[in-house]
Chains A and B, each alone.
Chain A
Amino acid sequence: MNFQFITYFSLLVFLMGIFGIFYSRDIISVLISFQFILISAVINFLGFSQFLYQSSLWDEIFIIFGIASIYFLMFCVISYFYLKLDLLDRKVLNRDFKLFKVERHDWCGEDEI
C-alpha cells in the first residue's frame, strides 16, 4: 500500500460522500454521506502522518477530538429526530431532507405556513 493509493482512495471516499449528499433524501442517508467525508478526512490524517511526519501525535489528538465532537453533534440531531416520534408518523419520517433542494418560494414570494 503506497502513499498514492491512499490519497486516491481518500478522494474516492470523499466524492462518494459528496454524491450521497446531493442524491440522498432521507435523514439517515444524509448522515451516512456525512460519515463518508469524515472517513475520508481520517484517512488523509493517518496517511499523511504515516508517510510524511513519521506517525506524529498531533493528528491522532485531532482525530479523537474531531470525531468525538462531530459524533456528539450528529447524535444530538438524530436523537432529536426520533424524540417523541411515533413511528407511524410517516409525514415526518418520509419528509424530504435533500440538502441542496432549491424551491422558488425559498427566495422569491411567500412561504405559506
Chain B
Amino acid sequence: MDFLISISEKTNPLQGVMVLSFAIFISSFFVMSESQAVKRFIITLFSVSLILAFYLNICSFISAGNFSNVLLSFENLQMIEISIIIFCALNLLFFISTYCMESRHFIKILSIFLFSTICAIFFVLARNFILMFVTLTIFILVIFQLMTVLNSKTDRIKPYIIGFFLRPVLTVILFFFGFSLFYGATDFKDFNQILQSEYISNPLIASGLIIFIVAVYLYLFLFPFQGSYVRLTRRNEVSSNAIIWFSYFPVGIFMLMKLDGLLGFFIENNNIYAYLLLAIAFICITAGSLGAFKTNSLRRIISFLFLFFIGVFILNISMFSAGIITGPLLSWFNIGNIFLIIFSFMPIYSVLSILEKNTGSDSIDSIRGLGRSNIYLGINLTLIFLSWIGFAYHIGPFIKYFSGTGLLQSGILNLMLLIVTAIAFIFLLINTFRIVIQFFKKPHKSVTEKIVFPGFLYIYVTFFSLVILAAAVWGLLKILNIDIGIMNFEIAGF
C-alpha cells in the first residue's frame, strides 16, 4: 500500500504522455501484422493506456496541484481539457475499431491516432509560443495523415481532403505571422507574460490578436467558409468524421480558450469589439441552424449543428464582453458547452452511423420509425437529443443581471445579446424536435425494423444516457437550491 501511495505522490501530468508513448512503442513491433488476435491486443493495450493516462492526469492534479515551467503550464483548466481530449480519444478508439478493424493498416492507424492525442495534450499544456505553434502544426499534420489513410480506398475523395486541409495550413501560417507581430511588440514568450505587462496596449499586439482570431475562425470552418468542411463530411469514411468532430474541433476550441485573456482585455477597452463579436455569434448560430434545417442528409445536419455549437462559444465570449458573465464563469460555460457537445453527439453519431451502414443512405428518412421499431434506443436517443435543452443555462446569468439593473436600463448591447440567445435557443429547439419527431413517425418501409444493432452499442448509448440523466437531475437540484452534498462543484454555473 505504501508503495502505491509513494507512486501516487510522484505522479506528473507528463506521465500520462509517457504511458501513451510506451503504448505506441509496443505497437510499433506489430505494425505489419494482420492477425485479428494482435489487433485485439493492440486495442486493449491502447484502451488501458488511455484509461491510465486519464487517471494520471486527474491524480497528478489532486496530489501535486498546479505546475508550470518555461514550456508548460498545468492548472485546473488544463486538467479538464486534457481529460476531455483523452475521453474523446477513448471513444474515437471505439469508432476506429468498429469501422476499420478489417483494414490492412489498422495498427498503423491506431498508432498515428494515439500520436495525434499526444500532440493535442502537449498543445493544451503548452505555454511557450514555440511549443504551442509546433504542437499545433504537428497535430494538424497527424490528423491529415489519419484522414488520408482512413480514406485510402477511394481516390474520389482526394480533392475534398486537400480542400479541407488547406484552411488549417493557412491557420498555422497566420499563427506564425501573428507571433511575429507579437515579437515586434515585446520579446515575451507566452500569453500570460504579455497579459501582465504594460506592452499589452501596443497596437502590434492588437493586430496580432486579430490575425489569431481570423486564423481560429478559419480553423473552425465558421460561416461563410464551411463549404469544404460540409463537402468532406458528406463523403468521408465514418470514423474520419468522428475524428474531425471529436479530435480536430476540440483542439480548435481550446485554441480559442487560450486567447480568452487577451481578447477580454481588448473587449473591455473598446466596445466595438463587443458588437462585432455579437454580430459574428449571431451569423454563425443562424447559419448553422438554417443549414441543418434546410437539409435532409443526417451527416450534413450533424455537421451544421456542430457549427451551431461552435457559434455558442462566440456567444459566450460576447456575454463576457457585455459583463453578463465573469471571466471564470466564461471558462465554465465553455467547458459545459464542450461536455454538452461530446456527451450528446458521440452516442447520436454511433447509432446514426450504424443505421447508415445498414440502410445505405444518410437521409433523415432512414431514422423514421426507429423509436417504434426499437423502443429502447428510441427513448435513449430522444433523451440525448433533449439534453440540448440544457442550452437554456445561458438564460440564467441574464435573469440574474437584469434583476439587478432592470431590463430597460441595461443598455442596447445586453438587450441584443438576450434576443440573440433566445433566437439561438429557438433554432436549437426546432432542429431537436425535427429529428425527435422523425423517430416516432410511422415508417415508410419496414427497413428500420430489420436492423440488428450490436449489443455493445446498447451499453454505449445507455452509459451516455445515464450520464446525461444524472447531470440533468443534479443541475435541476442546484437550480432549485437543494443541496445534495456530493461534491463542492457548481454544475449550473450560476
CA distance A73 to B138 in the complex (A): 8
Q: When each residue 73-114 of chain B gets 1 if its CB lies under 8 Å from chain A and 0 otherwise, what string results?
A: 000000000000000000000000000000000000000000
Provided the pairs A58-B187, A110-B297 are in contact, do residues A69 and B138 lie with their beta carbons within 8 angstroms? yes
**Which residues of B are found within 8 Å of A84, using beta-carbon distances?**
155
Residue B162 contacts which of A27, A66, A100 (CB distance < 8 angstroms)?
A27
Residue B234 contacts which of A45, A53, A100, A113 (CB distance < 8 angstroms)?
A113
Residue B158 contacts which of A81, A108, A111 (CB distance < 8 angstroms)?
A81
**Which residues of B are found within 8 Å of A27, using beta-carbon distances?**
162, 166
Provided the pairs A44-B184, A76-B141, A76-B145 are in contact, do residues A106 and B226 lie with their beta carbons within 8 angstroms? yes
B120 interface residue (CB < 8 Å to A): no
Write the nearest CB–CB distance from B208 to chain A, whole angstroms.
10
**Which residues of A are found within 8 Å of B144, using beta-carbon distances?**
73, 76-77, 80
Q: When each residue 274-299 of chain B gets 1 if its CB lies under 8 Å from chain A and 0 otherwise, what string results?
A: 00000000000001001100111100
Write the nearest CB–CB distance from B169 to chain A, whole angstroms.
6
CA distance A8 to B224 in the complex (A): 31
Provided the pairs A92-B158, A101-B227, A107-B287 are in contact, do residues A56 and B187 lie with their beta carbons within 8 angstroms? yes
In the complex, the answer to whether A97 meets B162 with C-beta atoms within 8 Å is yes
Write the nearest CB–CB distance from A62 to chain B, whole angstroms.
5
In the complex, the answer to whether B137 meets A69 with C-beta atoms within 8 Å is yes
In the complex, the answer to whether A14 meets B177 with C-beta atoms within 8 Å is yes
In the complex, the answer to whether B290 meets A108 with C-beta atoms within 8 Å is yes
In the complex, the answer to whether A65 meets B130 with C-beta atoms within 8 Å is yes
CA distance A30 to B167 in the complex (A): 11
B433 interface residue (CB < 8 Å to A): no
**Which residues of A are found within 8 Å of B184, using beta-carbon distances?**
44, 48, 52
CA distance A113 to B169 in the complex (A): 26
CA distance A21 to B297 in the complex (A): 31
Q: When each residue 59-80 of chain A gets 1 if its CB lies under 8 Å from chain B and 0 otherwise, what string results?
A: 1011001100110111011001
In the complex, the answer to whether A41 meets B180 with C-beta atoms within 8 Å is yes
B176 interface residue (CB < 8 Å to A): yes
**Which residues of B are found within 8 Å of A45, using beta-carbon distances?**
180, 183
Size category of the A interface is 35 or more
B39 interface residue (CB < 8 Å to A): no
In the complex, the answer to whether A53 meets B134 with C-beta atoms within 8 Å is no
A95 interface residue (CB < 8 Å to B): yes
For chain B, residues 162 to 206, give those with C-beta under 8 angstroms from any C-beta of chain A: 162-163, 165-167, 169-170, 172-174, 176-177, 179-181, 183-184, 187, 189
Provided the pairs A73-B144, A103-B227 are in contact, do residues A109 and B183 lie with their beta carbons within 8 angstroms? no
**Which residues of B are found within 8 Å of A109, using beta-carbon distances?**
294-295
Which residue of the partner chain A has the closest CB to B148? A80
B225 interface residue (CB < 8 Å to A): yes
Residue A77 contacts which of B165, B230, B296 (CB distance < 8 angstroms)?
B165
In the complex, the answer to whether B169 meets A107 with C-beta atoms within 8 Å is no
CA distance A5 to B145 in the complex (A): 41
CA distance A56 to B186 in the complex (A): 12
Residue B235 contacts which of A73, A99, A113 (CB distance < 8 angstroms)?
A113
Write the nearest CB–CB distance from B173 to chain A, whole angstroms.
5
In the complex, the answer to whether B130 meets A61 with C-beta atoms within 8 Å is yes
In the complex, the answer to whether A111 meets B297 with C-beta atoms within 8 Å is yes
A16 interface residue (CB < 8 Å to B): no
For chain A, residues 1 to 60, give those with C-beta under 8 angstroms from any C-beta of chain B: 14, 21, 27, 30, 34, 37-38, 40-42, 44-45, 48-49, 52-53, 56, 58-59
Residue B291 contacts which of A65, A70, A101, A108 (CB distance < 8 angstroms)?
A108
Residue B161 contacts which of A37, A38, A80, A113 (CB distance < 8 angstroms)?
A80
**Which residues of B are found within 8 Å of A77, using beta-carbon distances?**
144, 162, 165-166, 169
In the complex, the answer to whether B158 meets A66 with C-beta atoms within 8 Å is no
**Which residues of B are found within 8 Å of A62, using beta-carbon distances?**
129-130, 133, 179, 183
Q: When each residue 221-243 of chain B gets 1 if its CB lies under 8 Å from chain A and 0 otherwise, what string results?
A: 00111110011001100000000
**Which residues of A are found within 8 Å of B133, using beta-carbon distances?**
62, 65-66, 69
Provided the pairs A38-B176, A76-B141 are in contact, do residues A107 and B130 lie with their beta carbons within 8 angstroms? no
B411 interface residue (CB < 8 Å to A): no
Residue B173 contacts which of A37, A49, A61 (CB distance < 8 angstroms)?
A37
**Which residues of A are found within 8 Å of B294, using beta-carbon distances?**
108-109
**Which residues of A are found within 8 Å of B234, using beta-carbon distances?**
111, 113
CA distance A14 to B148 in the complex (A): 31
In the complex, the answer to whether B225 meets A100 with C-beta atoms within 8 Å is yes
CA distance A101 to B225 in the complex (A): 8
B300 interface residue (CB < 8 Å to A): yes
Would you give 19 A-B contacts (Cβ < 8 Å), ordered by A?
A: A14-B177, A34-B169, A44-B177, A48-B180, A48-B183, A49-B183, A53-B187, A62-B179, A66-B130, A66-B134, A70-B172, A73-B140, A73-B169, A80-B144, A81-B158, A99-B170, A107-B227, A108-B290, A108-B294
Which residues in A have some Cβ–Cβ distance to B below 8 Å?
A: 14, 21, 27, 30, 34, 37-38, 40-42, 44-45, 48-49, 52-53, 56, 58-59, 61-62, 65-66, 69-70, 72-74, 76-77, 80-81, 84, 92, 95, 97, 99-103, 106-111, 113
> Which 8 A-B residue pairs are closest in the complex by CB-CB distance?
A106-B227, A44-B180, A69-B137, A41-B180, A41-B177, A48-B184, A102-B224, A41-B176
